Amino acid sequence: MSLDVVILAAGQGTRMRSQLPKVLHRLAGKPMVSHVIDTARRLAADRMHVVIGHGADRVRQVLGDYPVRFALQAEQKGTGHAVAQALDGLGKGKVLVLYGDVPLIRRETLKVLLDQVTETRMGLLTVTLEDPNGYGRILRNDAGEVVAIVEQKDASERELAVRECNTGIMAMTAAQLQRWLPRLSADNAQGEYYLTDVIAMAAADGVAIATAQPDNPLEVEGVNNRLQMARLERAYQPVSLSSS
């Protein structure tokens, strides 16, 4: 199957306290989103789509030399809405969704995830954390099968006790994505279209949801503020060494 990679890079990143679009903040000398694109290239992606919004012109300029297609998310209506902006440009094979502010994700981890994808199965990258605060939780049935993801703001007390968390990174076929995205609803605490809602749709449609986890949780840590950026900067060297 061919491979499309959709990289979400439209967020404003207000907690960075900077006019610079969040994904352009530098880690180890280059913009965070560039690390993600470079990883996608090492997967031999057939097409790479970068969904832009805040500071779109600046992001286009900085990424001008990369072989990527840009899709504009003019309004911030959630991750599902963001991915939908790239829908028309997708091929007919596999689709991998990545995030421009999650720069340490490794090719090897993503390869394991992509190998799970078939016409009847999708892949979801999860992580088990000591402190899951702020993350969506993975819900499984009695057989251990993933049936849904619940965002923290929508979670019950029992669901908040779950330590297996959603990283946001997932892979499926283009046909599956095209079937599910139009069915998303913004009927939730944030009033947004969550990409994570496709998990419940997959389960309802009888599509199996295979999970994988990174060797190092830092691979899937996102950057929302300067403190987190400093943490990943310190971690960059050992994570890089472990992937070589």
Q: Which residues are catalytic?
A: 15
Q: Which pair of structure tokens corresponds to residue 244?
A: 């070589």
Say which residues have a Cβ less than 8 Å from residue 205's Cβ, sequence separation at least 6: 179
| 165 strand-pairing partners | 127, 137
Please report the beta strands in 37-140, taking only residues with DSSP state E, as ranges in sequence order. 47-52, 69-72, 94-99, 121-128, 137-140
Please report the beta strands in 141-207, taking only residues with DSSP state E, as ranges in sequence order. 146-150, 164-173
Q: How open is the CA angle 4-219-125, to the nearest 5 degrees?
A: 55
Is the sign of the CA dihedral 56, 109, 41, 210 positive or negative?
negative
Say which residues have a Cβ less than 8 Å from residue 199's Cβ, sequence separation at least 6: 124, 146, 147, 148, 149, 170, 209
Helix (H) or strand (E) holding 192: none
Q: What is the CA radius of gyration of the chain?
A: 17
- Is residue 36 classed as helix, strand or coil in its secondary structure? helix
Say which residues have a Cβ less than 8 Å from residue 81's Cβ, sequence separation at least 6: 73, 75, 184, 192, 193
